Amino acid sequence: MRCPFCQHPDTQVLDTRISEEGDSIRRRRRCENCDKRFTTYERIELAMPTIVKKNGSRAEFERSKLQASIMLALRKRPVSAEAIEAALARIEEKLLSLGAREVASDRLGELVMRELRKLDKIAYVRFASVYRNFEDVDEFAEVLREIRPRKTARRGEG
């Protein structure tokens, strides 16, 4: 690790501590050349895939954009912050588990719809109406049929 003060390539680690959350390591270092001390942090860096949009352009995955679109669909709906955070984490985990450098925005949209369907049916329909760009009421009705519980025939009816 280079010294940030004199750029000397050799530094000595004086102290190493794991953060309370367990997701990073803090190291106190001393430069062997100028004797100044500084702190470094080590964190796991996971490379999220690039999102390929419908028009072919590419954009970095941004959790904040994903969260904003989910929050918009869930606006004024009774869903806890913990449930939303868990859904975001599952989407990110799924993207990472795909092991791909690039993921089509359609695939990301389907992952969001799957999570919203579990969280809140109204939010699911809201998101689907924008995501699928409904052209008419029939398309909207189809999504409603997807989420409506199927009625079972009662015995003795005929």
Q: Residue ranges of the domains in the chain?
A: 11-43, 50-147
CA atoms within 13 A on the CB side of 91: 27
- Specify the pLDDT at position 61: 94
Closest by CA to 74, choosing from 106, 44, 117, 107, is 117
Higher confidence at residue 146 or residue 99?
99
- Specify the pLDDT at position 134: 64
Lowest mean pLDDT among 5-9, 35-39, 146-150: 146-150
- Specify the pLDDT at position 158: 47
Distances (CA, A) of 99 to 46, 49, 96, 112: 11, 8, 6, 18
Backbone phi, psi, residue 123, to 5°: -60, -40
SS3 state at 40: strand
Closest by CA to 21, choosing from 38, 39, 43, 48, is 43
pLDDT (mean) for 119-127 = 89
pLDDT (mean) for 130-145 = 70
- Specify the pLDDT at position 145: 73
- Specify the pLDDT at position 102: 95
C-alpha to C-alpha distance for 150 and 146, rounded to whole angstroms: 9
pLDDT (mean) for 16-32 = 88
Q: Say whether pLDDT at 113 is over 80.
A: yes
pTM for the predicted model, two decimal places = 0.61
Q: Average pLDDT over the chain, rounded to whole? A: 87
- Specify the pLDDT at position 82: 92
Q: Which position has the token pair 């699911």?
A: 124
pLDDT band of residue 86 (cuts 50, 70, 90) is very high
The residue type of 56 is G
